[in-house]
Amino acid sequence: MKVLEDSGSSVALQLEGIDRSYANAIRRFCIAEVPSMAIDDVVILENSSVLYDEILAHRLGMVPIRTDLERYNLPEECDCGNPLGCHKCRVLFVLDAKGKDKVMTVTSGDLVSEDRDVRPVSESIPLIKLAAGQSVKLEAYARLGRGKEHAKWQPCTVATLTDGKKEGVFILTVESAGGLPAKQVVLKAIELLEKKLKEIQVAVGGPD
Amino acid sequence: MSKQFAASNSWVILSDLLQREGVARQHLNSYNEFVTRGLQNIADEINEVEIETVSTPYKVKFGRVTLGSPRVVEIDGSVSSILPMESRLRNLTYSAPILLEMTIEEEGLPRDTTRQHIGDLPVMVKSELCQLSNRSREQLIESGEDPNDPGGYFIIHGAERVIVGLEDLSPNKILVDAEKLAGATTYKSRVYSSVVGYRSKLELTLKQDGGINVKIPSCPVDLPYVIVMRALGIKSDRDIANAVSPKQEIQDLLEVSFDKASEAPTEKDALVYIGNRVAHGMLEEFRVKRALSTLDWGLLPHLGKTEDRRFDKSMFMGEAACKLLELRLGWIEADDKDHYGNKVIKFAGQMLADLFRTAFRNLVRDMKYQLERTGQKRGGNVVGAAIRTGIITDKLNNAIATGNWGRGKVGVTQLLDRTNYLSTLSHLRRVQSPLSRSQPNFEARDLHATHFGRICPSETPEGVNCGLVKNLALSAIISVSVPSQEVEGKLWELGAKQIRDSDEKLQVEGCRIFMDGRFLGYVDDGERLAKAFRKLRREGQINPSASVLYISPVNDNAYPRIYISLSSGRVLRPLVVVESGRPLLNPEMISKVSGGQSAWRDLVDQGTIELIDANEEENCLVAMGPEDVTTRNSHMELFPAAMFGIAASIIPYPEHNQSPRNTYESAMAKQSLGFSSPTYPISPHVRQHLLVSPQAPVVRTRTLDLLKIDERPLGTNCVVAVLSFEGYNIEDAIIMNKSSVERGMARSFFYRLYDGEAKQYLGGMRDTFEVPSAESNIRGYRGEKFYRLLEGDGVVAHESQVAGGDVVIGRTSPPRFMEEYKEFEIKGPYRRDTSVAVRPSEAGVVDSIFMTENVEGGKMFKVRVRDMRVPEIGDKFASRHGQKGVIGLVVPQEDMPYTAEGIVPDVIINPHAFPSRMTVGQFIESIAGKAAAFRGSPVDGSAFAGESIDEMEKVLRGRGFEPTGREVMYDGKTGKKFATDVFVGVVYYQKLHHMVADKIHARARGQVQMLTKQPTEGRARGGGLRFGEMERDCLIAYGASMVLKDRLLDEADKTEIYVCERCGLIAYYDAKQRKYTCKIDGDQAKISTVVVAYAFKLLLQEMMSLNIAPRLQLKDKV
């Protein structure tokens, strides 16, 4: 194995000596299994903008958010048992914006997070335009989730497995959406894949 | 000059034309002309009414017609000015009062002049009468309007209705035709003579024996030609023959006609002859009178209906016979009925004029009757009281609201298509042919060469209306009528001679001149006259709408003829004038137009550009572009892509497609969802869609800019791979990427408007909006849970989630028949629940609620429910090349194929979509879309003038991609490379409004019809799916008799009936006596129970009602 590139947002690995199906499983895990943070529940307190609540909520969900896999649990794995979540499985964002005399654009930077490490990857993602007198007030809850459930939880934008120059050589390229470093996405994918394989191993009566 | 000149530069002119005139100019011009001149003319036609009272009769004279501005008269009589948006929201009619000056004239002396309100005229949105006509963009937005709305439609009771253009045969034109019937050829010469109000068809037939017969509508039998000519007052046979033609060959052919007219040698005899046929058995004096009136009114009424017009008519008849005989001799060719020069299009103005004329006549008749009844009282007030404004108002409103124009004309108006912006524009440029759709009419449906630049070659529906419903091309301009006097004057100046002033030589060798169906006279050199006429027109001395056609016949013996057309409704198209091999349009003029210093009209005025109708185009030789211009050319095309209509103009690279595909796309584009109007938050349409994230296409046509489609887009740019995918995209299905869908691709909203108004009933009772309560004995109470979302005022809360059956407007109505209830019911009258509920198969969120008052003063609520539609399996999509398909599978991104760069397609279509359909345009769009994405700027794919594929290939190569658009792809499920490269690119996809959510339907148990007790039909009524004859045949053939019985009897309309075995008729169970009774056999009856279909029982009883006794013979089952 050889690391061809590791720039934080993107990682390229040359794999040799492993089966294509195993390498592809890693790629697929990067897309669908590795958890990342995204806004999931939105409580709209006020919305006099031109966008409907559901559209605004959808747009919020698409904002990539910096993810900390160490401190946060997947809601279904969290021990709080609370359907609303706890400080270990959700992060509250607040948005309170009012249109001044000119048409203004509310961006992801206007989202105020309760955890300063969990915040939008970019501050300049436009969320909504407000005309004078229009206002939006909402609470948004970000949670960890998996890409297989919804595209907003996909940690990476690009995940490819391509043939290398030689037979049996593959190149795995992963570009991150910004929530997690690309390397971590791959590592987590391998970890999760291993965990799943382990489960099978246990299920068929192998050693723990 | 290069291709670029034609492609990009002269485009500016056309762009300026459409920007300034707008898409609905033909409607607006037509309506404005009706308002400014038409109304007055119709009032002048009648001019006065005589009121015949016993003592002193008097007259009411009509003066000037004026119009107020659009307004509404509320129930309390207050008048307020309205805007279109208010009319739409409040279900009002956008109309203005018509005021007519009326003067009472007694014994020839005018006494009292008043302005009377005679009725309301529906106002065309954005016409001169409309409040919006001269508002700026900002002011329009202020008025709640879409600033890009083209106008051209009416608002009747809140509904937007368009009077579609009606294609018609040009009036007053002599068309000759040779009809082959059973080996023999008959020659006919026809004229549809039309004057305001009515038309009369004249037909001259050359019989097998060589005689000419004349057919006039008011005469039951055909008349010999010469007799008609004599009756018209031409005394000598020589003059009659010369009226036809002084040429010997023609006169020889007339011999038989003269022989046939021998029984009426004089004018008097001829009149008696005709009189005998139109007024048989009456006094001779009366017969002659009738004959004369037949000639004055029934024959060629367009030339006038008075005695002094008979000479003109005889000359016109002469020409009709002349053309007929010239055709017989083979000197001229038969006229082509489908030539677009022989067609005119009638728009709102002309249609309304017909309607208003009859309504106004009715009003005047009614007024006369009222005034005569009133008797001696007179004066302005009395006249005012005698006018029933409803006669005009109701007639106009009803006709526009229903499209019922009277005299069998139906479907004249249509509800404006607001599916998307493009469909609205296209609807406003639609033209309908009155030809019957049930007859084949093959030639009439065919595309004709003269359609070029006038009618879109692609945009027409498939099926019964194919070729009968057309759409105007972008370059089409509809002529407005030109006053004839000044043009006539110019002709005399140019050397034309009246018939009476033409000497024999001129009459033999000269060229005949016709102007709008009138035979004006002769000129020695027709070609020279036509040239001079055109010169004057280019100099601005003759209206640009006037056109001239010079016909030099195939045989020199026939007359050359000049036709000058000044009428409105002809389809013109702008062409660049070419003089001695050089187009007059130069780059300087173009840059002036693009810079806004001058307009296309200026170029017309200075003779650089000419408006040419289909007739005049016969005299032109048009070059396609500057590089094709030779000294032989008279004109050059402005922009070839303008030959398409609105819908076909959005297709990129249409010239690379098989032509039917462009037709399919033209139909489909009108079904695609998009951003139809920025007024969507308050749009009061019953059904409306909105695409959430619409995109301007990256592969564009110039027309998109022009029509401002970018501001009102109707699709999404998608990465499309051409690949089969596990069989889920066979038969035109498409695969969609689940992640793309989740990210919001092709998401749309569907809105449905529910409305309820409080009606007032006789006796002062009215509907009330309330939450119907369980306690107050309400008939039809639905149950508490259906009313749970209602607030105190009886209307649902904003943004509440509603499902099928939930009441959105709670309303109760008073009992229907008061007395009946009092008699039979102890509890007293019940109010009825007439609440408005969400449709059973729909759901959504309450989007907006409007509260207002209708014109009757009743309170009115409109509640709009929105429903988000995320693409799902079965939703229909289409590219811009007639490639439609439904989603076959939504695939998770990790399973989708990917390219080496990591691009995962949004859509995967099947390669089988291409070979047979040959939509090469889509391939080019795909490659161009990819190139556009790489270079970061859109690609111009305009028809005939788009950026070349070589250019696109260069971009792709520069980025290290295959110029063919093919790429290495990997299977997402296995990570394996596909054996072949895959064609991937960016294609603009449209979401069409056929969605599974609107169609999904199943039934287990449910409603049955009252009459037959069989399951109801249709999704809206929760109906069953028909198990039809063919399905029945299958079961019979298979021998599945139990299934057959189950479907057709047990689970359908199974019933038990009682049959008397003795008489075989139906018996019944008498509940009082607790026994089965047969009225016929009484005690002797033997009654058995039989299981039959209820429909069969119904049949028996229906037969009995027809005095047939259907007797059933029962036998025990063995």
Is B901 close to A160, i.e. CB distance below 8 A? yes
What's CA B926's distance to the chain center, in Å?
Answer: 34
Q: Which residues of A touch B (CB under 8 A)?
A: 20-21, 23-24, 27-28, 31-32, 50, 52-55, 58, 62, 147-148, 150-152, 154, 157-163, 170, 173, 175
Q: Which residue has the tokens 């007439």?
A: B834
The whole-angstrom distance between B484's CA and the closest CA on chain A is: 55
The residues, any chain, with a CB within 8 Å of residue A177's CB and separated by 6 or more, are A36, A64, A121, A154, A155, A156, A157
* pTM attached to this predicted model: 0.92
Three-state SS for B257?
A: helix
**DSSP code string of B975-1000:** -PBPSS-EEEEEEEEEEBS--HHHH-
Which chain B residues are within 8 Å of A28, Cβ to Cβ? 894, 972
* Residue B1: per-residue pLDDT: 36
Report, as an integer, the average pLDDT of A130-156: 95
- CA–CA distance, B931 with B990 (Å, rounded to integer): 20
Mean pLDDT, 10 residues at a time, chain B of 1118 residues: 49 88 93 94 90 82 94 91 94 95 85 90 96 92 92 95 93 91 86 83 89 88 91 88 89 90 87 87 84 87 88 91 92 92 93 93 92 75 87 95 88 94 96 82 91 96 92 94 90 89 86 92 92 94 94 88 94 94 90 89 92 95 91 92 94 96 96 93 91 95 89 95 95 97 96 93 87 86 93 93 95 75 59 93 94 90 96 97 96 96 96 96 97 95 92 95 96 95 97 94 91 91 91 96 93 92 90 86 89 95 95 87
- CATH fold, domain A2-34+155-203, is Gyrase A; domain 2 (3.30.1360)
Is residue B148 within 8 Å of residue B712, measured between CB atoms?
Answer: yes
Report the complex ipTM.
0.96
Three-state SS for B166?
A: strand
Task: Determine the residue type at B98.
Answer: I
Is residue B699 within 8 Å of residue B928, measured between CB atoms?
Answer: yes
What sign results for the dihedral spanned by CA atoms A81, A85, A90, A91?
negative
Report, as an integer, the average pLDDT of A86-92: 92
- Calculate ∠ Cα B832-B838-B843, nearest 5°: 160
H or E, element range at A199: helix A182-203
- CA–CA distance, B113 with B106 (Å, rounded to integer): 12
Q: Counting beta carbons within 10 angstroms of the beta carbon of residue A14, is it exposed (0 to 12), middle (13 to 18) or buried (19 or more)?
A: middle
The residues, any chain, with a CB within 8 Å of residue B819's CB and separated by 6 or more, are none
What CATH homologous superfamily does B175-334 map to?
Answer: RNA polymerase Rpb2, domain 2 (3.90.1110.10)
Interface test with A, best of B680, B691, B742 (most A CBs within 10 A): B742
What sign results for the dihedral spanned by CA atoms A194, A198, A201, A207?
positive
* Residue B127: per-residue pLDDT: 95
Which chain B residues are within 8 Å of A127, Cβ to Cβ? none
Three-state SS for A14?
A: strand
- CA–CA distance, B242 with B499 (Å, rounded to integer): 12
Is B894 close to A148, i.e. CB distance below 8 A? yes
Question: Across the strands, what pairs with B98?
Answer: B67, B119
Question: How many other CB atoms are found less than 10 A from the CB of residue B857?
Answer: 12
Task: Parse chain A into domains and list their residue ranges.
Answer: 2-34+155-203, 37-146
**DSSP collapsed to 3 states, B463-523:** HHHCCCEEEECCCCEECCCCCHHHHHHHHHHCCCEECCCCCHHHHHHCEEEEECCEEEEEE
Annotated active-site residue B1083? The verdict is no
* Residue B504: per-residue pLDDT: 83
* Residue B823: per-residue pLDDT: 54
Is A148 close to B892, i.e. CB distance below 8 A? yes
Is residue B1001 within 8 Å of residue B1019, measured between CB atoms?
Answer: yes
Interface test with B, best of A160, A165, A167, A172 (most B CBs within 10 A): A160
- CA–CA distance, A23 with A127 (Å, rounded to integer): 37
- CA–CA distance, B294 with B167 (Å, rounded to integer): 29
Is residue B119 within 8 Å of residue B389, measured between CB atoms?
Answer: yes
Task: Determine the residue type at B996.
Answer: V
Is residue B1059 within 8 Å of residue B1067, measured between CB atoms?
Answer: yes
* Residue B821: per-residue pLDDT: 52
* Residue B817: per-residue pLDDT: 64
Which chain B residues are within 8 Å of A160, Cβ to Cβ? 898-902, 970
Structure tokens at B178: 């040779």
Q: Do domains A2-34+155-203 and A37-146 have the same CATH topology?
A: no
Task: Determine the residue type at B456.
Answer: C
* Residue B1116: per-residue pLDDT: 84
Count of pairs with CB atoms under 8 A, one residue in A, one in B: 68
* Residue B826: per-residue pLDDT: 57
- CA–CA distance, B41 with B34 (Å, rounded to integer): 9
Question: How many other CB atoms are found less than 10 A from the CB of residue B1106?
Answer: 7
Distances (CA, A) of B905 to A95, B655, B720, B878, B926: 34, 27, 5, 16, 12
What's CA B239's distance to the chain center, in Å?
Answer: 49
Provide, rounded to the nearest whole percent, the portion of chain A with pLDDT above 70: 100
- b/e code B709-732 from CB counts within 10 Å (16+ = b): bebbbbbbbbbbbbbebeebbeeb
Measured in residues, chain B has a length of 1118
Is B893 close to A53, i.e. CB distance below 8 A? no
H or E, element range at B1044: helix B1041-1045
Question: How many other CB atoms are found less than 10 A from the CB of residue B278?
Answer: 20
- CA–CA distance, B102 with B110 (Å, rounded to integer): 10
Is residue B292 within 8 Å of residue B368, measured between CB atoms?
Answer: no
Is residue B1082 within 8 Å of residue B1093, measured between CB atoms?
Answer: no
Q: How many CA atoms lie within 13 A of B108 on its CB side?
A: 0
Is residue A9 within 8 Å of residue A181, measured between CB atoms?
Answer: yes
CATH number corresponding to B648-747+872-991: 2.40.270.10
Nearest to B744 among A27, A58, A158 (CB): A58
Nearest to B974 among A21, A148, A157 (CB): A21
CATH number corresponding to B1001-1118: 3.90.1800.10
Structure tokens at B363: 């009003």
- CATH fold, domain B24-158+345-406, is Rna Polymerase Beta Subunit; Chain: C,domain 2 (3.90.1100)
The whole-angstrom distance between B689's CA and the closest CA on chain A is: 14
Q: What residue in A sits closest to B744 (Cα-Cα)?
A: A58
- CATH fold, domain A37-146, is RNA Polymerase Alpha Subunit; Chain A, domain 2 (2.170.120)
What's CA B925's distance to the chain center, in Å?
Answer: 32
First to last CA, chain A: 28
- CA–CA distance, B1008 with B283 (Å, rounded to integer): 69
Closest-CA residue to B919 (of B829, B1005, B987, B828): B987
* Residue B212: per-residue pLDDT: 92
CATH number corresponding to B749-869: 2.40.50.150
Question: Across the strands, what pairs with B176?
Answer: B189
Task: Determine the residue type at B410.
Answer: V
Structure tokens at A101: 């005399």
Residue A121 has pLDDT above 50, yes or no: yes
For chain B, what is the largest distance between any 2 Cα atoms, rounded to a whole number of angstroms? 110
Question: How many other CB atoms are found less than 10 A from the CB of residue B693?
Answer: 16
- CA–CA distance, B163 with B412 (Å, rounded to integer): 6
Q: What is the DSSP-derived secondary structure letter of residue A120?
A: B
Which chain A residues are within 8 Å of B681, Cβ to Cβ? 50
**DSSP code string of B808-854:** EE-EEE--S-HHHHHHH-TT-PPEEE--EE--TT--EEEEEEEEEE-
Q: What residue in A sits closest to B846 (Cα-Cα)?
A: A52
Structure tokens at B351: 């249609």
Q: How many CA atoms lie within 13 A of B618 on its CB side?
A: 18
| B477-643 classified as CATH 3.30.1330.20 | no
- CA–CA distance, B221 with B320 (Å, rounded to integer): 19
Strand B571-579 versus strand B969-970 pairing type: unpaired
Task: Determine the residue type at A183.
Answer: K
Structure tokens at B922: 């889509």
Mean per-residue pLDDT over chain A, rounded: 93
List B710, B732, B981, B998, catalytic entry:
B732
The residues, any chain, with a CB within 8 Å of residue B432's CB and separated by 6 or more, are B164, B165, B166, B167, B411, B468, B469, B470
